Chain A
Amino acid sequence: MHNVYSYILVMALVTYAIRVLPLTLIRRRIESSFLRSFLYYVPFATLAAMTFPAIFMGDGISIWAAAAGFLTALILAYRGKSLLVVAASACGAALMVQLMINVIQ
């Protein structure tokens, strides 16, 4: 049986190495237009892939409640609302729909 703290240490070391190596080793401007564009697109691709369809697959919440949260977030984000407003409204919309479903059933 491994100690939980040895897991935490390994996790922290690996994760920090991933973060610190590029930042300390790459000190110059990347000239390649392809690489610069590639790096520009990375966060959008990653976060989009992490969001969908995972948002519909949470435990204890119906697909309709998740859809309400998803749509709410999309609309509010499109209107330029802040991180907090978008996140809180998504949770609230999902909660309301899930409560209605629970009452009906």
Chain B
Amino acid sequence: MNKGKGFIDGLRDGIPICMGYLAVSFAFGIAASEKGLSTIQAVVMSFTNVTSAGQYASLDSIRDNVSLLEMALLQLIINLRYLLMSTALTQKLDQKTSILHRMGIAYGVTDEIFAMSVLVKGQLSPFYSYGLIAVSLAGWTFGTFLGAFAGQVLPTLVIACLGLAIYGMFIAIIIPPARERKSVMAVVAASMLLSLVLTFLPEDFRLSSGMRIIVITLIVSAAAAFLAPIPDEDKEGRDA
């Protein structure tokens, strides 16, 4: 695999992620400064964490001055899906990929970068990942800065609508494969339905949003793997 070409391809494919991240992290920057973080704190958090849901959830906990252990647990639960994504990525890598490359790729395992990486045909080159990560992270960090620094001047209406950017991005990732494969469509529909039900459970039975996502992911993915296993040498196939 050509290193330079892999990196350039990653940069190019990462541009839409970068733009989406600009919008989403802009909204995060605004929220962070509203909850009392300084601009530099918000930017450091984005650069070191690179996780939308985990960062959003942390803001209330920081304001409430929770213990560090509780913060660690919160992040563990909300971000547990990355464990599954990283495990899936190991199957896309050449087995000989060095530990340093593996540690480098791990830094940028996000929903969007993961989705882009698993959709690559054949094996994943670490340099392609680095390209994706570099351009995405630039957007994520710079957007946070803009939101925290200048966001307060935007009308709230515009800010509220920008909040939809992350969901638009998620939809753009999951719908095209769902169109190709009925079992994926079923997984998407079942997950949304289950999410709706769990969100509106009676107060006493309600799960935190991170826990809800984990429960749904485990149940629906396991059911789908049982009912509609993916044919082995046919990750790109359309017969399922």
In the complex the two chains form, is B172's CB within 8 Å of A11's CB? no
Scoring B residues 219 to 240 as 1 if CB is less than 8 Å from chain A, else 0, what string do you get? 0111011101110100100000
Majority SS of interface residues in chain A? helix
A83 CB–B CB distance under 8 Å: yes
CA of A91 to CA of B220, assembled, Å? 29
CA of A84 to CA of B45, assembled, Å? 24
CB contact list, A1-36 vs B, under 8 A? 1-2, 4-12, 14-16, 18-24, 26-30, 33-36
CA of A41 to CA of B87, assembled, Å? 12
In the complex the two chains form, is B41's CB within 8 Å of A8's CB? yes
Per the CB 8 Å criterion, the residue count for chain A at the interface is 80
B interface residues, Cβ below 8 angstroms from A: 15-17, 19-20, 23, 37-38, 41, 44-45, 48-51, 53-55, 58, 61-62, 65, 68, 71-72, 75-76, 79-91, 93, 95, 99, 102-103, 105-107, 109, 111-112, 114-115, 118, 156-179, 183-184, 187-192, 194-196, 199, 209, 212-213, 216-217, 220-222, 224-226, 228-230, 232, 235
A interface residues, Cβ below 8 angstroms from B: 1-2, 4-12, 14-16, 18-24, 26-30, 33-55, 58-61, 65-66, 69-70, 73-74, 76-78, 80-92, 94-95, 98-99, 102
